[in-house]
Structure 1
Amino acid sequence: MFKSDETTAATALMDNPGLIHTSERLCVGWQQPNPLFAGGNDQRSSENGLLLLFYGNLQKAAGYEWQNAGRALIDKTYLRIVGQCTGLDMQGLSADELATRLDGFIRRELAPRWDLIRRSHGNAGIELTRELLDKASQVLFEAPVMHAQTGPILFYLCPHLPLLIGEHPLADQEQLNSLPVLPRPQVFTGSAQQQALIRQLIEGSDWWRRRVFSAWQSQATNKAAGE
C-alpha cells in the first residue's frame, strides 16, 4: 500500500534535520539584534524584541483601555524595524503614514475583539485571520489582497493567530502538527512582566513552531531559486 502525498509530506517534515537546525539557529539569535537593522546594534530588532514592540505593546494598551496619551499604539520606528528585519515592502508609504493607518486598524478591528484574537489559534482561527489579513490590506495599503505585506505585521502584533511570514501567510495546521519537537528559547528579555508574557506565548502557543517553519520555508525557497 502506498502512502498518500499528505502522509509522505508529513513524514518528510518529521524526519527533516533542517528544521531542527533552523530552530537551533533561531534560538541562538533569539535575543541578538538583527543585522538588517541599524547594523545589528539595536536590541529591539531581535525576535524577542519584535514581540515586545508589537504584541507586548498591544497587550499593555489593552490593560489601559487602548489609551496612549494621543500617540500611535505602534510607533513608526517599530514599523521601520520590522520592515527591515522581514523585508516588508511598504508599497511606497512612509513609516509615519503606515503608523497612522495601522493605529486606526488596531483601534477599529483589533481592540474590540482582542480577547477573541488571543484565543483564535490553529484551525479555529483561520476565518478570523483571513478576515483580518483582508481588512489590513484595505486599511494599510488600499488594496484587496496584500497578505505578503500585512502578514508580517500581524505575525508580531497578534502572535496567536495561525500566521506564517511569507507570500502565503495562512498556516497549514496539518503541516505544523507534523513538525518534530523543536528547541525553543529559554531566556527572555525585559521586565518580569514582559518576560512572563513572552514566555507564556512561546510555551503556550505554536508561535515558535510557525516562526521556525517560516524561516525553514524561506531557506528552501532561496535555495531552490539559486539552483
Structure 2
Amino acid sequence: MNTDFLGIPKQYVKSPQKPKTKTDKAYLAYLNELAAAIEQNYHVFKNNYAIEVPENNERPKAKKLIALQEAELMSAEQDYFKITGKEYKTQWQKQVDEFNNLLPYLQRITYQQQAFGPSLNYLYVFVDENVIELIHNSLKMDKYHVQNIFSKKDLIRKLSILNIGHWDKENDLPELVMIEDGTSWTMTFEFAKGKRYIKKSFSGYMSWPLNFDDLADSLKIDF
C-alpha cells in the first residue's frame, strides 16, 4: 500500500487490467489485485475525510470510483465461477453478507456524537412496521423526544446497499494526526434473532467510513 511517513494511504488507486486470457490463474490474480485496490481506496477515503480541503473535495469522485470497482469485482467473480466452478469472495464481502443477513432482526440503532460542545444522541426503535426516531440533545437537558417515523421495510432496504459490514469497527485517524476539538462518534446496531441478542458497534474520531453520509441521510442524522 502506498503510504506517507504517517502510514496514511496517499492516493486512490485504479483497477488493474482485466486479463486477456480466461485462465483460472490469471483471473485469480486479477481478483486479488482488484480486491486490494478497493481495500486501499476504503482506507484512503476514511483517512482523508477530516483532512481534505473542502474546496478540493474528492469524496464524490472517490465514492463513484469505489462503486464501479465493486461492480467490477462482482462481474469478475461471476466470470471466475464460470471458468473454475469455484466461488471467490473477499473477507469483507463475507462480512457484508453476515451483516445484511441480520437486518431482518434489527431492533434498535443508537448513534452518539460528541464534539467540543453538547453531545447529540439518536435512538431508533423498530416497532412493528415502523422505525421511531428519538433525539436527545445534552445542551437542552431534555428527555428523548420523537423526531421522525420511518418505514421499517424502506430503511432496511437502504441499509442493505451501504456495505456496512465492510466498515472498520474503529475509524480513528493515526495518532500523529492531531485535530483539536474534533468529533467522536459511536453507532450500534442491536439485533434479536430468536434467543440470540447480537450487537454490532462502530466508532471513530474525525474519521467516517464510506457511505456513512448516505446512512446519516437515511436516518436524518446531522453530523
Q: Aligning the two structures, in what range does the TM-score lie when normalised by the shorter sequence?
A: under 0.3
- RCO (CA 8 Å, sep 6+): is it higher in 1 or 2? 1
Q: Compare the two structures and name the one with the higher helix fraction.
A: 1
TM-score by length of 2: 0.25
Which is strand-richer, 1 or 2? 2
